[in-house]
Structure 1
Amino acid sequence: MRPNSSKPTPKKSKKNVFIVVISVSATIVLLFAFAFVLIMKTMKINGEEKLCNKERDDTPKPDATRAFTHAEIVKITNDFEKAIGKGGYGPVFYGCLENGHEVAVKLLSQESQQEYREFLAEVKLLMRIHHKYLVSLIGFCDEGPEKILLYEYMSKGNLKEILSDKNRNSVSLNWEQRLRVALSVAQGLEYLHCGCEPPIIHRDVKTVNILLNEKLKAKVADFGLSRLGPTEDDTHIWTIAAGTPGYVDSEYNITNKLTDKSDVYSFGIVLLELISGQPAIILDEEKLHIVHWVTPKIKTGDIVSVVDPRLQGEYEINSM
């Protein structure tokens, strides 16, 4: 009996999948190249055109990174009075040190807590990482069963909240501010990838993990957490590839290997969000990935419908 010729063989099926992946990847690369050129051509703010910046953070720190007791944490947070967020690792509370500096106090949930030695190794790693575009670790608490990290407080919250809030009275980033955010994130990631030894892969670059302060300056948060150890070639710090839907690159889905390119892909999605104001996954009649949403518009040269309408035409169209 002849096999049904309309059904693809396993080899053909795999080949077709590979072709689709390559095609999609090529489209994404072009989109990100477009976004990168757009940013670098219009970024002439204070001479910050150079992307590679390995300078460590020279801004004053609220306090030297140190260990806090649980009693101190209770006092700093006023008995965990004000919750300001909840991430994949656990709840985050507002706190204030005795010197008046504000902090974000992150409690690691029981499910995400590492072994004691691994936790200390993680803290030591974060203590030596200082860059002006990475959220600073202020201190930690490993007293008893609880594992707690204290970070500098970023008063304006995360980029996702700002981009998704369509309220006219809310904070709305202009074009120059969006360019600054993009460059800040790029330099923060470049430091993790090239300025640290061994290099660090963030593994969860997304708008939620990009925080802004009162002056709308952006910093990357949640880097280095859940570190498992070095990769096989001992060149990168390997992290749990939890990722977030919409930000995970297709290559990882195929190879199941995490690289610095995974961060670059996720950063590309963030660029598209900054330009368009759309989320990574657009919820319309059905879920639509931002890459699939923007691709036909770019192909037809319809740049106007890509750019966030809240910019009201105030952007550099010629650089696109």
Structure 2
Amino acid sequence: AIYGLNIRSWQGDPCVPELLKWEDIKCSYTNRSTPPRIVSLDLSSRGLKGVIAPAFQNLTELRKLDLSNNSFTGGVPAFLASMKLLSIINLNWNDLTGPLPNVFHDGEKNGLKLTIQGNPKLCADASCKKNNQNYVVPVVASVASVLIIVAVLVFILVFKKKRATQVQHELPSTRPSIFTQTKRFTYSEVIALTDNFERVLGEGGFGVVYHGSLNGTQPVAVKLLSPSSVQGYKEFKAEVELLLRVHHVNLVSLVGYCDEESHLALLYEYAPNGDLKQHLSGERGGSPLKWSSRLKIVIETAQGLEYLHTGCKPPMIHRDVKTTNILLDEHFQAKLADFGLSRSFPIGGETHVSTAIVGTPGYLDPEYYRTNRLNEKSDVYSFGIVILEIITSRPVIQQTREKPHIAAWVGHMLTKGDFENVVDPRLNREYEPTSVWKALEIAMSCVNPSSEKRPNMSQVTNELKQCLTSENSRQGGRKNMDSRSSVEMSVSFATEVTPNAR
């Protein structure tokens, strides 16, 4: 946005998926647990004008920067010398002027090379006698990483389009394209990569999900909008826009999309182990998930939600957290999916947004249902239901129970002291009771009817990690249950919390 770049491949996350990495950048892919970072940026010969923007210094993992053969003016900014991992800077053949800051001379013996050939008005030293020299600057290890390209080139574009365009729920006959061509597939390409929609993976409110293969090597899931879908272009657009600007190891990655006349499709990374609901219900077959595996999955999901709430600017509310939207990759790593109902959350003094009720019965926050007031604690409520599901492996709503809703049923059972019959019998008591009990406490605090009394996702994540630590430390035998927890049990177990369907 600063320089008016129009590079077709610069859409979405710069580094993922690796197959669709942006042109002229290089990323680090060494640590699988953290998102890749930009380490090299080549903007040479792009016709760029103006000063070298301070925003470059936000690329704190950058090691090489090439701005040669452009028309940059002004001085060489001193901040380039303080970028702690930067080792090569090429500023050849621009229109830079003025003396070179002393900080470059001071670091001459320490390793980072600056080339400034072809800038006749640039003074390499105080006497302005040398114009074409190499300089060295200090390098110090850095930890923080901020993706400036996403912020500048995509984030602003997304919200400008959101403000400018009001999209109807139905598919309009003409509508603006969401983005330009990169990561965008034609409908004929979608047909080809799915082998004419041969293999069905599942079906939901959006439409049918098919298996596909990108370039014959990368498996993908293709979610195709059905003409009779209860969701429409608005939700499709919301999901594309969100996934193009966020990335977290526990959020499903968007590979691409199709937006061609009446054909709408989303292409995701493929999760070969299905969703959490399938494993809890036994639909996938095989051995039941161990307690430690269930905890790991909900912790990873909690981390993804925590990122949406605290790591995104503006923060995001998912609005449809449930076990069918928690996908499992080949390593059984959790990936939170289905962002079609997501909403931005206020970052000013407001504490909520008012919006029409959407969500899934059983997971829907009763306070949000009553008031239409949405905040991040609505996701916390839904996540509490997910925790109850991993503990019990029972349906969220079951009319044959004394208390049909799972939260009310668990509360009712615990008031009777019947802990054993709450826990999934398929676990065969192979768990640390204190770990399960603590998870129950966390879940019940999450489903408190009052949003103010619910913990936030950062607190929930930390508490669940303690549950996993307790389970991992189990050394055979059973320990006495300890009901103490740093998450306050602030909900009455006998309280009916089921919202009526609208």
Question: What CA distance in whole angstroms lies between the structure 2 residues aligned with 1:228 and 1:306?
Answer: 34
Deviations 1:221-259 (A, max 9, x none): 102x14577769688888764211111111012101222
Give the deviation of 1:157 after TM superposition.
1.0
Residue 61 of structure 2 is aligned to residue 104 of structure 1: no
Larger displacement relative to structure 2 (254-263 or 227-236): 227-236
Tell me how far apart the structure 1 counterparts of residues 210 and 342 of structure 2 sit (CA, whole Å): 23
Could you say which residue in structure 2 is the equivalent of 1:63?
Answer: 20
- Look up the SS of the partner of 1:293 in the other structure: helix
Distance change >3 Å, CA 229–CA 269, structure 1 → 2? closer
**Which residue is equivalent to 1:190?**
306
Mapped partners of 2:258, 2:376: distance in 1: 30
In the alignment, structure 1 residue 113 sits paired with structure 2 residue 225: no
2:112 equivalent to 1:155: no
Contact kept, 8 Å, 2:238 with 2:342, in 1: the verdict is no
- 1:228–1:275 Cα change, 3 Å: closer
Other structure's SS at 2:260 match: coil
Query: Which residue in the other structure is 2:317 paired with?
Result: 201
Structure 1 gap ranges (5+): 1-55
Distance 1:285 1:194, change over 3 A: closer
Rounded to whole Å, the distance in 1 between the matches of 2:394 and 2:237 is: 39
Change in CA separation of 1:83 and 1:119 when aligned onto 2, cut-off 3 Å: closer
Deviation at 1:301, TM superposition (A): 3.1
CA shift in 2, pair 1:146/1:235, >3 Å: farther
Q: Aligned in 2, Cα 1:185/1:237: closer, same or farther, shift over 3 Å?
A: farther
Q: Report the Cα offset of residue 284 of structure 1.
A: 2.7
Long gaps (5+) in structure 2: 1-12, 22-181, 438-502
The DSSP-based 3-state class of the residue aligned with 1:102 is strand
Counterpart of 2:429 (choices 313, 316, 319) is 313
Distance 1:73 1:252 in 2: 38
Distance 1:140 1:57 in 2: 16
Mean alpha-carbon deviation: is it higher for 81-90 or for 57-66? Answer: 57-66
**Aligned runs of 1:36-185 on 2, under 5 Å?**
61-64=18-21, 66-110=183-227, 111=229, 112-114=231-233, 122-165=239-282, 169-185=285-301
- Determine the C-alpha separation between the residues in 2 that align with 1:125 and 1:101: 22
What displacement does 1:270 show? 0.4
Q: Quick one: structure 1 residues 216 and 309, their matched pair in 2 at CA, closer, same or farther if it must change by over 3 Å?
A: same
How much identity, in percent, do the aligned residues show? Answer: 50
In the alignment, residue 20 of structure 2 is paired with which amino acid? Answer: D
Helix, strand or coil: the match of 1:211? strand
Q: CA-to-partner distance for each residue in 1:22-64, whole Å, 9 max, x for gaps? A: xxxxxxxxxxxxxxxxxxxxxxxxxxxxxxxxxx999864534
For the Cα contact (< 8 Å) 2:317–2:376, is it kept in 1?
A: yes
The CA deviation at 1:104 is: 0.6
Q: For the Cα contact (< 8 Å) 1:226–1:240, is it kept in 2?
A: no
Cα distance change, pair 62–237 in 1 and its aligned pair in 2 (3 A): farther
Question: Against the structure 1 CA distance between its residues 102 and 238, is the aligned structure 2 distance closer, same or farther, given a 3 Å change threshold?
Answer: farther
User: Is this contact kept in 2: 1:57–1:131, CA < 8 A?
Assistant: no
Q: Which has the larger radius of gyration?
A: 2
CA distance in 2, matches of 1:275, 1:89: 29
Measured against aligned partners, the alpha-carbon deviations of 1:76-122 in whole angstroms (never above 9, x if no partner) come to: 1001111111111111111011141111101123353326xx85565
Amino acid across the alignment from 1:66: K
Secondary structure at 1:187 match in 2? helix
Check if 1:244 corresponds to 2:354. Answer: no
CA distance, structure 2, for counterparts of residue 163 and residue 120 of structure 1: 31
Deviations 1:124-176 (A, max 9, x none): 33112110101111101112221111001111111111111278x52411011
Structure 1 pair 147/231, CA: closer, same or farther in 2 (3 Å)?
A: farther
SS in structure 1 of the partner of residue 412 of structure 2: helix
Q: 1:174 to 1:301 in 2, by over 3 A?
A: same
Summarize the Cα distance change of 1:183–1:240 in structure 2 as closer, same or farther, 3 Å threshold: farther
Q: 1:289 and 1:145, CA in 2 relative to 1: closer, same or farther beyond 3 A?
A: same
Q: Give the aligned residue type for 1:162.
A: H
Summarize the Cα distance change of 1:305–1:119 in structure 2 as closer, same or farther, 3 Å threshold.
closer
CA distance in 1, matches of 2:422, 2:401: 19
Find out whether 1:211 has 2:327 as its counterpart: yes
Greater relative contact order (CA < 8 Å, ≥ 6 in sequence): 1
CA RMSD of aligned residues (A): 2.9
1:57 and 1:156 map into 2 onto residues whose CA distance is: 27
1:299 corresponding residue in structure 2: 415
Question: What letter corresponds to residue 199 of structure 2 in structure 1?
Answer: K
